[in-house]
Structure 1
Amino acid sequence: MARLHPYNFTHVLLPQLAWRRPASVRRELSDPYLARELLLYVWDKAAENLPAADKVTPKGLRLSWHEVAGRATALFHLPPPQSTTEAYYSALVYEEDDERETEAEEKRPRYFTLEATLGLSGLTGAPTVVGEWAGDTHRHLSRGPGAGQPDTAKAFLAVLAAVLGPLPDTEVPFMHIVRS
């Protein structure tokens, strides 16, 4: 059974916060100092009503930014999971460019997880599944890359790039009308 502390952080509080205030959370996560403070605050909140024995240290909790299929992506490196549904990584994927977004027209980022799953670990690593949260709905998208390998984060981002696909072309093509 998943430990409640990391589960609450990854599957409940982090996505809810990012969806409630998308632009301001993105700004805070873009500042290394504010990002660290925000992550630790949310980590502590995730254990607020839990007994001391159920609390987990945030060892390994950090954030890195990447471009995935042309989209700004905040990758959360999480404490190592110890059971299924706990995640190795989660990611907020921003579909909109930060400069074009205004507070009035904020678009919610997409939220993905790379979760531990049942199975035997092999040469390629521990078995995982890629999931996506959309509001209260959680769905598994595909098997994930083997966890516990030096390139697991990079492989997770590659899976996300395949799921997201290229950005839609927003420019209207120029057209000539030729009369003969």
Structure 2
Amino acid sequence: MARPHPYHFAYTMLPQLVWRRPAAVRRELNDPLLARELLLYIWDKAAESLPPRERVAPRGLHLSWHTVAGRATALLQLPAPQATGEAHLAAIVYEHADDPDDQSRIPDDDEPDEDDPVLADEALPRYFLLEATLGRSPDEAGTPTMLGELRGEHHRHHAPGPPAGRPDTTGRFLQALADLLGPLPTEVPYMRIVRG
């Protein structure tokens, strides 16, 4: 059974914050000092209501930035899972590789405009996890994983992930995300029809 502290951090607290304030969180995660402070704050908040014996040290919590299939991606190395249902890695994938200071796509209040479903969908990053799972890794050393995605209240398993506990796990996870996401759609040129 998953430990409540790391589970609450990776499956509830972090994704809710990322979706509630997408532009602000992206800016904070781009600054190493602010990112560390933010992640440790969320880690502590995730254990706030837990008894001391159920709290887990943030050992191994680490953030790095990558480009995955043309998309800016914040990759979080999480404390090592101890049970099925915990996550090894979390990836926050921004569909637009724009500068995080560019607010042209996101309203000033950091909230997507609910009246504009296209803007609301574009403004929200996607949130993926490399989840610990039961079973055996086929023909490979390492522990079995699943590539999962949280989207609102939905939790979807896409496919088996790369075995965890190997030196190439992170790279293979990022490659699995790139394969899943595919290339960025090309911009459709704006057309104006003039009738004469």
Within 5 A, what are the aligned runs for 1:79-94?
79-94=79-94
Q: Unmatched 5+ residue regions in structure 1?
A: 175-180
Counterpart Cα distance in 2 of 1:68 and 1:85: 25
Work out whether residues 114 and 131 of structure 1, in 8 Å CA contact, stay in contact via their aligned partners in 2: yes
Counterpart Cα distance in 2 of 1:173 and 1:5: 48
Following superposition, the deviation at residue 173 of structure 1 comes to: 9.1
What is aligned with 1:119?
135
Counterpart Cα distance in 1 of 2:182 and 2:141: 25
What is aligned with 2:9?
9
Q: Secondary structure at the match of 1:127?
A: strand
What is aligned with 2:58?
58
Q: TM-score when scaled to structure 2?
A: 0.84
Q: Does 1:153 align with 2:170?
A: yes
- Give CA-to-partner distance per residue, 1:103-155, whole Å, 9 cap, x none: 34560100000000001366431100000001010010000001000111110
- Give CA-to-partner distance per residue, 1:28-61, whole Å, 9 cap, x none: 0000000000000000000000010000000000
Tell me which amino acid in the other structure corresponds to 1:119: G
What is aligned with 1:133?
150
Kindly report the root-mean-square deviation, in angstroms, between the aligned alpha carbons of the 2 structures.
1.6
Work out whether residues 132 and 140 of structure 1, in 8 Å CA contact, stay in contact via their aligned partners in 2: yes
Counterpart Cα distance in 2 of 1:157 and 1:120: 21
- Give CA-to-partner distance per residue, 1:67-92, whole Å, 9 cap, x none: 00000000000000001110000000
* Percent of aligned pairs sharing the same letter: 60
Tell me which amino acid in the other structure corresponds to 2:177: L
Q: Unmatched 5+ residue regions in structure 2?
A: 113-119, 192-196
Work out whether residues 130 and 142 of structure 1, in 8 Å CA contact, stay in contact via their aligned partners in 2: yes
- Give CA-to-partner distance per residue, 1:159-180, whole Å, 9 cap, x none: 0001110000004299xxxxxx
Q: Secondary structure at the match of 1:49?
A: coil
Number of aligned residue pairs:
174
Work out whether residues 23 and 103 of structure 1, in 8 Å CA contact, stay in contact via their aligned partners in 2: no
